[in-house]
Amino acid sequence: MDDNNGWICLHRSLIGHDLWTQKPFSMGQAWADLLLLANHKEGFVRKRGIKITIARGQVGWSERQLAERWGWSRGKVSRFLEELEDLEQVEQKNGPQNINVTSLITIINYDKYQSSGPQTGRKRAANSTMNNNENNENKESIGKFTPPSIEEIRAYCQERNNEVDPQRFVDFYESKGWMIGKNKMKDWKAAVRSTWEKPVPKISIQDAKQPETSTLSAEQIRETMERRYAGK
């Protein structure tokens, strides 16, 4: 048995999709297109310098524009809109008399197609999937390191009144793939404070040859030698 109750969600990005905009449109496609083109909140367009308010549930497209979009003749668009009026699906209202280029098409019972009532199981599942995807994206973005710009480093170093050279800092870590040892850098400001603001320690030949006996860690020795080679 056919079930014509309930509804599905269509994203507005469908308006510009290649599959959707193949011409000519069918009549059913044109009707769905009007629902997609309708304003979901009040807005406006300007025609010949005159501001025309478009209310929620209204389409501010002229018959000529719709004809071009749907691949129809203007006469066919006019007859189609008249048929929708007879079916009490839309109401038409002309724009200002002195700019006869835009008609306002009001979708009757627009909110019926944008229901925000009790959620069905399918809608809850869809929302749950969307929320899970958003949460996953948020989790991925948390802790994700973004290399700073030279301007950001310079501003931070000026704030701390240190003598760190932003260009050398960037060049040094870019050459290492923004790695600190075997780990990806997590906080470049911490690197400025904990490493670059401190003077380069002196390392003896013995330290360099036998890091396991040095008071410095192997990573500190390697970092120091690399910075010294970089000209810090």
pLDDT at 201: 57
Fold of 12-115: Arc Repressor Mutant, subunit A (1.10.10)
CA distances from 169 to 80, 159, 192 (A): 66, 16, 8
d(CA 101, CA 195): 67
pLDDT at 215: 53
Q: 211-222: string of b/e by CB count within 10 Å (b at 16+)?
A: beebeeeeebbe
pLDDT at 153: 87
198: CB partners within 8 A, 6+ apart: none
Residue type, 177: G
d(CA 38, CA 55): 9
Where along the chain do its domains lie? 12-115, 150-230
Reading the chain (232 residues) residue by residue, the pLDDT tens digits are: 456 667 777 888 888 888 998 999 999 999 999 999 999 888 887 777 788 888 999 998 889 989 999 999 999 999 999 999 999 999 998 765 555 556 789 999 998 887 654 455 455 544 554 555 555 544 444 457 788 888 888 888 877 888 888 888 888 888 888 888 788 888 888 888 887 887 655 555 555 555 444 555 555 555 665 555 444 4
pLDDT at 192: 87
pTM over 0.85: no
Helix residue ranges, H only, 52-142:
63-70, 74-86, 121-141
pLDDT at 206: 55
pLDDT at 85: 93
